[in-house]
Amino acid sequence: MKNLITALLLGAAATATATSHAAVDPYGYTLPPSMQKKKKPAAPKKKAAPAVDYVGEYVNFGDWKDVRAFLDELAARDGFDRAELNALMAQVRFVDAAVQLVKPAPPGKPKNWQAYSKLMIDPVRIDAGVKFWNENSEALQRAESLYGVPADILVGIIGVETVYGRNTGRFRVLDALTTLAFSYPEAPQRRERMAFFRGELEATLLFARQTGIDPLSLKGSFAGAIGMPQFMPSSVMKYAVDFDGSGKIDLLASSTDAIGSVAAFLAGHGWQREQTGPLVYAATVSPNRAWEPMINQGLVAKYRVPELGAAGVTPAAPAPDQLYGLVDLQNGAEPTEYWLANANFFAITQYNRSYFYAMSVVELGQAIRQARGAAAAPVAGMTSGM
C-alpha cells in the first residue's frame, strides 16, 4: 500500500509539473493568468522590398512643352517625320523607377572598396568568365591583335557589366531615356544630365532608323545602356562593330560583336597597346601628405615615378618609366589603399568614371585568367596515358 501511495503521489507531481504552464490544472480548472504560460510575441515580418516597376505609366509626353521643342529640333536636324515622332512619343511611358535609381546614394555612408570588390569579383562571375573566355577565345585573340586590348580586360568589363549577358536590363530604352531627358531628379548638374540623356535619346532614334529596328523594342538598363557591354546609344553609334561579320551589329546576342565593340571603345579612349605590363602598382604614401594634391587630378595619367617619389609615393614593386595617376581606394573605417595607375587604367574609367569600377575590371580579369590557367594545368601525379 505504501508503494502504491508513493507511486500515485509521484505521478500526480509529474502531471502537475507537466501542466504547470498549461491553461488548466490537472483537474481541468482554469489557472489564474499569473500561472499560465506566456506566449512569445511573434517576430515582426520583414517588409518585402518593393518590386521594380519596369513598365511605368502613361503621361502623354507629347503635351510637354520641352518635349515638343525637342521633337521639332529632331525633325529639322535629322530629317525625322514630325507626325511619326508624335505617334512614337504617344507610346512612350514615364518610368519613375529610372528616376529613383539614377539618384546618388545618400550622403554619410563611407566608400568601401573591399565590400564593393566582393560583390564584383565573386565565384559566379569568375566561373562564368572562364566559360566565356573558352567559348570566345578566337574573338578575344583577334580583338587583342587588332586593337591591342588584352583578353582579360575585355572579359573583365563584360563580366562586371552584365555577367556575360545574364543581366542586360529590362527597361524599354526609349522610356528610360525620355524620362531622364525631361524629368531628371533635382541635382547640382541636372541641366547637364538632362542634355546628356536628350543626346542619348536622339542617338537611339538615329540608330533605330539606321538599322531598321523598332525603337520601342530596345531593352536595357534604367539609364538606357544596351546589350552585353551596356553601351549607351551614342557609343553604339560610334564604337559598336560587326565583329562576327554577320552584316549587322548585335550587342545583345553576339558575344563576338560585344568583344570587338568593347575593344574598339577602349582603343578610341586612349588605350595604349605598347603598355603591356600591369595597369596598376600598389603604393605606400608618406605621412607628410605632400602627395595629397596628386589625388583627384582628373582621369588621366600625368606624373612620372620620380615626381611621385619626391612627394612621398613609393611603389611596392619597380614600376616602368610611364605616366601614372595616384588612385585612392577607400575602405570605410579601414586604411585607404593607394595605387599608381597608368594610361590604360584611365582608359577603362572612360567606360565608367569610377576608380572602383576600373579596379574591379582589372582584378576580375586577373582572377579569371588565373582560374582558367589552373583549370588547364595537369593534375599532379596524373599522366596523359591514363
The x, y and z cell numbers of residue 28, run together, are 481541468
Q: Provide the H-helix boundaries in the chain.
A: 2-18, 65-78, 82-89, 96-102, 113-120, 123-135, 137-147, 151-162, 173-182, 190-211, 233-239, 255-267, 305-310, 343-349, 355-376
The 8-class DSSP code of residue 170 comes to -
161 tagged catalytic: yes
Which strands, in side-by-side order, build the sheet including 334-341? 313-315, 280-285, 334-341, 325-331
Residue 335 vs residues 50, 72, 156, 328: alpha-carbon distances, Å: 36, 54, 26, 10
Q: Which residue has the cell 559566379?
A: 124
Instruction: Measure the CA–CA gap between 51 and 37, rounded to whole angstroms.
Output: 41
Question: Helices 113-120 and 355-376 meet at what angle, rounded to 10?
Answer: 50
Instruction: Measure the CA–CA gap between 384 and 219, rounded to whole angstroms.
Output: 48
List residues bridging with 329 in a β-sheet. Answer: 337
Task: Evaluate whether 183 touches 98 at the Cβ level (below 8 Å).
Answer: no
Instruction: Measure the CA–CA gap between 340 and 317, rounded to whole angstroms.
Output: 11
Q: Tell me which amino acid residue 233 is.
A: P
The x, y and z cell numbers of residue 81, run together, are 517625320
Instruction: Measure the CA–CA gap between 297 and 341, rounded to whole angstroms.
Output: 12
The x, y and z cell numbers of residue 281, run together, are 602598382
57, 135, 144, 161: which is the annotated catalytic residue? 161
Chain-centre distance of CA 113, in angstroms?
A: 14
Task: Evaluate whether 135 touches 255 at the Cβ level (below 8 Å).
Answer: yes
Residue 316 vs residues 77, 281, 309, 319, 322: alpha-carbon distances, Å: 54, 7, 12, 9, 16
List residues with catalytic annotation. 161
